[in-house]
A and B are shown apart, each in its own frame.
With several copies, the nearest count.
Chain A
């Protein structure tokens, strides 16, 4: 679960990471009031969860209250890369001398927290990695012990921070590590971490992503409703309510598979044969007819989808159950969209027979079925 900047900064404050004075505002008046209280100049920051918010015009500086009013009005209600802006963070503008980068992530193969630091802040870590990979300093932390001050100092020295800033820097590293650990984060990031002209240091932006599987441990972070509404398309949100594992893409061939890997492989195979997958939808292992029906019904309602390709490898999942679910959907509604089914494994014969009798394309290999789906999508 991605946290908004203002939420992440609240966690930063709790763990002693300095952030600029700031307040959230949901209306223009609130923004003006906030600017008055904080003092000018301020920065108005759209609270959206998309990357590249700044370049897309989501961060505006304002030197006068009139400017605040005008720019807040411009931001609120607008769309930044498809995300509606309903809330601003109004922050005291900082006098920036230098921008650094600091984050904590999970080192998957090492199975440890990994700290990344760089003197090249203000751009995506991906870009730093491309342009000057030698400027990214890495350090894995022993999770049983936690980050130690000497490690934080070492990171600071290695990115070339002047000695007089090391004391402040240590607080950022320690605080960010604490946030990462306490809130079960997948990522805790400060970018940019600003050095100001008066020799202070501030977290200008803040990004925390909490492990979806651990959100239950942090009820204070968000109500269930708010949690689900984040960063999801309309259909993704609906899929969550239905309990489906669904991700929206921009193609026209609906994909259903059992198992995440198989579903991705199905998408890839469709693409390999020239088609465009519209989504990822995994019904998991051992699905019964009801779940099959629910998933199929869900995709059939999607306006962009022309053809649905269901790819089932029956292991624990039984092919006759799958067929039963498909037939339920067809019985209950008039389906105009084409359906391609690949069905193999446990009870394969029975399942195929049931579907053939209903006049549905059934294939036994993924490649054949994918080619057929692509062909049908072209015809529509």
Chain B
């Protein structure tokens, strides 16, 4: 019905005692997310919104052996350590909200996670939501509603914008994944698409890309190879972005001739994927490709 996370997902919040961690723990709990524990080194023994806090993941997992997912709100300099701790403690999914992690650090922990079979979402991402079931992230929950459209996106607010438009147009979502705005992210478009392809609850996919890298082109190639077969609508941000400049996200940069929005738009259109000219058009194009 959904991908990766659902109402049975048991979550540990790493960095739960920080401002962001505590704030979003509250919002996730309000949404119904099953948070079982929090971890902040040195703060073990406290409680945050009724959730017990531990010094280490090892302790947290010992006390809550059903935990299978963690979300990280730890500052950039300490975040990689938290990711390794999460992987080593057996988490199946690790959502890294933290921004500004050096890309070489991310490169290392993403490879490590792959070797251990852990799925990393992020870094520098809004998280993942399966509307009505669970929200493991910082997105405003109320703009999503349960349904049959998957969303995979490199952006935060732009995802909310488009998701909200889909919701208003009557297209609820199976799962929405913000893969993150950094040059290297854990779960990428290709891997996410594969999950949505396999999910019977997902009828069509909305892809929200942006300048930088060639993840969109590779997804287009994957569609061309017939490895993703469901209806897709795309939107690409940054058509007006100049080369060589980072546009907010560390990953949003056109460099050495790759990462241009026009190439991504062309790649999708060449494999028959309609690309919206403005965010509001996404819902319209979706109506076309779904025929309803």
Residues of chain A at the chain B interface (Cβ within 8 Å): 51, 105-106, 108-109, 111-113, 124-126, 129-130, 142-145, 148-150, 153-154, 157, 163, 166, 181, 184, 186-187, 211-214, 216-217, 245, 247, 249, 257-265, 267-272, 277, 280, 282, 285, 313-316, 344-346, 365-367, 370
Q: Which of A124, A163, A259 interacts with B157 by CB under 8 Å?
A: A259
- A111, B110: Cβ atoms closer than 8 Å: yes
Residues of B91-127 whose CB lies within 8 A of A = 100-108, 110-112, 114
Residue of A nearest to B261 (CB): A268
- B155, A260: Cβ atoms closer than 8 Å: yes
Does B213 count as interface, using CB distance less than 8 angstroms?
yes
- A345, B143: Cβ atoms closer than 8 Å: yes
Chain B neighbourhood of A142, CB < 8 A: 111-112
Stretch at the interface among B4-12, B63-71, B192-200, B234-242: B234-242
Number of interface residues of B (CB under 8 A): 79
Chain B neighbourhood of A259, CB < 8 A: 155-158, 248
Besides A143-B108, A285-B156, 14 other A-B contacts (C-beta < 8 A):
A129-B257, A143-B104, A149-B78, A166-B41, A166-B42, A186-B183, A187-B255, A216-B77, A259-B156, A261-B153, A262-B161, A265-B237, A315-B139, A345-B143
CA distance A290 to B242 in the complex (A): 29
Residues of B226-278 whose CB lies within 8 A of A = 235, 237-242, 244-252, 255-257, 261, 277-278
CA distance A228 to B179 in the complex (A): 29
Residue of A nearest to B140 (CB): A315
Chain A neighbourhood of B55, CB < 8 A: 153, 157, 163
Residue of B nearest to A130 (CB): B257
CA distance A181 to B108 in the complex (A): 11
- Are A261 and B213 also in contact (CB < 8 A) when A213-B250, A247-B247, A272-B277 are? no
- A265, B279: Cβ atoms closer than 8 Å: yes
13 contacts between A and B (CB under 8 A): A106-B184, A111-B114, A143-B104, A150-B56, A150-B57, A150-B81, A154-B56, A163-B55, A211-B102, A213-B101, A259-B158, A260-B156, A261-B156
Residue of A nearest to B115 (CB): A144
Which of B76, B104, B111, B212 neighbours the largest number of chain A CB atoms within 10 Å of its CB? Answer: B104
Which of A109, A186, A249, A366 neighbours the largest number of chain B CB atoms within 10 Å of its CB? Answer: A109
Which of A51, A126, A249, A261 neighbours the largest number of chain B CB atoms within 10 Å of its CB? Answer: A261
- A280, B248: Cβ atoms closer than 8 Å: yes
Residue of A nearest to B102 (CB): A214
Chain B neighbourhood of A148, CB < 8 A: 80-81, 84-85
Chain B neighbourhood of A267, CB < 8 A: 238, 240-241
CA distance A345 to B56 in the complex (A): 37
- B278, A366: Cβ atoms closer than 8 Å: yes
Residues of chain B at the chain A interface (Cβ within 8 Å): 41-42, 55-58, 76-78, 80-82, 84-85, 88, 100-108, 110-112, 114, 138-140, 143, 153-161, 164, 181, 183-184, 188, 190, 208, 210-215, 218, 235, 237-242, 244-252, 255-257, 261, 277-280
Chain B neighbourhood of A130, CB < 8 A: 257
- B161, A265: Cβ atoms closer than 8 Å: yes
- A143, B107: Cβ atoms closer than 8 Å: yes
- A269, B156: Cβ atoms closer than 8 Å: no
- A125, B257: Cβ atoms closer than 8 Å: yes
Chain B neighbourhood of A280, CB < 8 A: 241, 245, 247-248
Chain A neighbourhood of B140, CB < 8 A: 314-316, 345-346
Q: Which of B84, B212, B239, B251 interacts with A268 by CB under 8 Å?
A: B239
CA distance A125 to B258 in the complex (A): 10
Q: How far is the CB of A88 from chain B (nearest CB, A)?
A: 23
- Are A261 and B158 also in contact (CB < 8 A) when A108-B214, A366-B280 are? yes
- A367, B280: Cβ atoms closer than 8 Å: yes
- Are A106 and B107 also in contact (CB < 8 A) when A150-B57, A150-B82, A265-B235 are? yes
Residue of A nearest to B39 (CB): A150
CA distance A184 to B160 in the complex (A): 33
- A150, B278: Cβ atoms closer than 8 Å: no
